[in-house]
Structure 1
Amino acid sequence: MINFLNLQYFLVLCEEMNFRRAARKLHITQQSLSGHINKLETSFGVPLFDRKQPLTLTPAGMYLRKRAAEFLAMQDDLQKELLDIGGMIGGSLTVGSTHARSQVLLPAAFRAFQEKYPQVSVKLFEGSTDELENGIRNGTLDVSIGYLTEGSSQITTIPLYEENIIVVIPDTVIERYFPNHTVLSTRKPDLSFVMSCLESCPFLAMTQTSRTPTFTRRYLQYLNISPNIFLETKNVGTLLSFCSAGLGVSIFPETFITYSQYDFSHHCFYTIEDYDSKNIIVLNYRNTRYLSKTIQAFVNTVREVVDAQTGLGANR
């Protein structure tokens, strides 16, 4: 008899291709994980992995990887259908988002959803935009929230809001590099001044792992500017904290500033309008999977929260 847990563990090992990392991800020992895989191989009567370094899948393992994902998706859909037949909103829900977006939008959305449906267990997966898209496609995520990506007939996309991209310039940086400039009194930097800041002042950058740094790089190329990079990090929270502390100029989606835990009251802001700079934030789900009442309830809750938040739903 096929054991669902063994299949789940098998798929995690397929993803990590390393017993130690997979066991850590599953919060079990390597010995326990090896036991689950051995039981699966014994049950099917074929080896699924070639255990020579590096670990690889056998032809049987590659075939099972595809069918196991389909089988577990069918089992998950069946559970959702049975809950719906019983007229219940319950079970679990797996939501994907980037780490930064989770801090901006999800606290309010999760709070509202929890108040309405406390019986639902929510699992949050935080990853890159590519990981979120793959999660929707392969069925490991029920819903994802992030940037608008390339269209797919298998994915339903619901626009939530548009956000501006802004250049953030600390007052302390202006005082240091442009001590006599009138912008300190007007608080309204123009493009010419912003370009001077981007050319002359320390720049805080994100590594090329997401949409924002890709936009930043292209925008700077468009302006023909090579910034003086003081700090480069993949963590948006770190970048926000350094910019808040006045260490340099940076570029962020506006909502990251609006809902930041850091103080940006002593900063000047320039909304980028001379370049294609609107981010469309969307909610995605796979339309080839069963859309349960629980998923529908979450989608509706997120849309209600977005509409209620000033600066989000108002820009839709």
Structure 2
Amino acid sequence: MISFLQLRYFMVVADSRSFSSAAKQLYISQQTLSAHIAQMEADLGVVLFERTRPLTLTAAGEQLYQRTDEILFLHRQLEQEMWNFSEGECQNLRIGIASSYARTLLPQIFPDLMKKCPYVKLELYERNFSDLSELLHKHKVDMIMTRPPYPNNTVAVPVLEETISIYAPMASLENMFRENAQEVARSLSRSAEIELLKECPFVLPRSGSVRDSCNELFRLHQITPRIVTETDFLETAIAFCRAGMGITLSPTGMLQDLTRQASAEEPPGIYPINERDTRRSLAICYLDRAVVSRSMQQFISIAKAKLGQNVF
């Protein structure tokens, strides 16, 4: 009879396509892991993996993979449901989040969460926004923090109203406007009009929701931007702009560290755009059929209290 432990081992091997890699993730020897898989195959009377490099699932292995994913999800939901009835400590919590928000938002939440649930183990999976939905639907995490459009078959709890800002540090303005840089900065402080910068070089992410927002702003204001650099990550675009290579647009929350680092003599160059179309709700999402554990409840409650009054 196969066990939940063996099923978990099987899933890790199937995902990593390697006994050695899976063994490292599971903190067991490769010999022990291979023995568990061999025992599963003997008990089921089928071969689950073709021993190629990388490993490939057989037809029976593919079928078991689909079933096991659902079985382990239901098993975790049952554990969480029973744990909610118990007087024990909060269960572990797995969160999917973009790395930029892991740095700027989670430090505001985690200290209070650890006070409420001092023994909870936190597992962070930092991914691009485009990958978070798959992470949730494949049951790799309990919840994600993401932007619209929210994944199907989920409950979305908005926790933060997010704004877009122009990031135009003084180094970039001086390169572009020379002796008029200070006046342009003052004009942007009064009203962050994208038209003021329509002739400027832009450094933008190549794709993703931020690029979509940029494209929509350019369309609304009938601007054809002069894009001098495209990057895979917004953080790279921000770093280039800080070095004076151009300007970009970014969710304001991602620029908070820059605000804290800027001195009084050198303004941070962050100018929030006060247009309704640029605002979006960042939400915590979990599967609509998931059991909400106590640790999930605490995390959501703290996030709403800490972030709900802010506009980033």
Instruction: Give TM class, smaller chain.
Output: 0.7 to 0.9
SS across alignment from 1:149: coil
1:31: how far off? Answer: 5.2
Rounded to whole Å, the distance in 1 between the matches of 2:298 and 2:185 is 47
- The 8 Å contact of residues 206 and 233 in structure 1, kept in 2 or not, is answered as yes
Q: Percent identity?
A: 25
The count of aligned residue pairs is 304
Q: CA deviation at 1:150?
A: 4.2
- How far apart are the structure 2 equivalents of 1:13 and 1:277? 43
CA contact (8 A) 1:156 1:284 kept: yes
**Where do residues 1-316 of structure 1 align in structure 2 (5 Å cutoff)?**
1-19=1-19, 22-23=22-23, 25-26=25-26, 33-52=33-52, 55-150=55-150, 152=152, 154-181=153-180, 182-188=183-189, 190-197=193-200, 201=201, 203-208=202-207, 210-220=208-218, 223-230=222-229, 232-234=231-233, 236-260=234-258, 262-263=261-262, 265-272=266-273, 276-307=277-308, 310-311=310-311
Q: TM-score, normalised by structure 2?
A: 0.84
Could you tell me which runs of 5 or more consecutive residues in structure 1 were left unpaired when the two chains were aligned.
none
Q: Note the alpha carbon deviations across 1:251-289, whole angstroms, 9 max, x for none.
A: 110111134464385344444456832222001111212
Match of 1:82, SS state, is helix
User: Which of 260-269 and 161-170 deviates more?
Assistant: 260-269
Question: Separation in 2 of the partners of 1:20 and 1:273?
Answer: 52
Q: Aligned partners of 2:81 and 2:69: how far apart in 1?
A: 18
Letter in 2 for 1:194: L
Maintained 8 Å contact 1:10/1:37: yes
Deviation at 1:294, TM superposition (A): 2.6
Give the Cα separation in 1 of the matches to 2:26 and 2:206.
Answer: 29
Distance 2:285 2:253 in 1: 20
Unaligned runs of 5+ in 2: none
Q: Tell me how far 1:36 sits from its aligned partner.
A: 3.7
Structure 1 length-normalised TM: 0.83
* CA RMSD in angstroms, aligned pairs only: 2.8
**8 Å Cα contact 1:96/1:132 also seen in 2:** yes
Question: Is the alpha carbon distance of 1:219 and 1:76 closer, same or farther for their aligned partners in structure 2, counting shifts above 3 Å?
Answer: same
For 2:270 and 2:229, locate their aligned partners in 1 and report how far apart those are by CA, in whole Å: 20
CA spacing shift, 1:281–1:138, aligned 2, 3 Å: same
Structure 1 residues 102-148: Cα deviation after superposition (integer angstroms, max 9, x where no partner): 11111111111001110211111111223321222232211111112
**Per-residue CA distance 1:210-241 (angstroms, 9 max, x = gap):** 3213333454466442433246242x444433
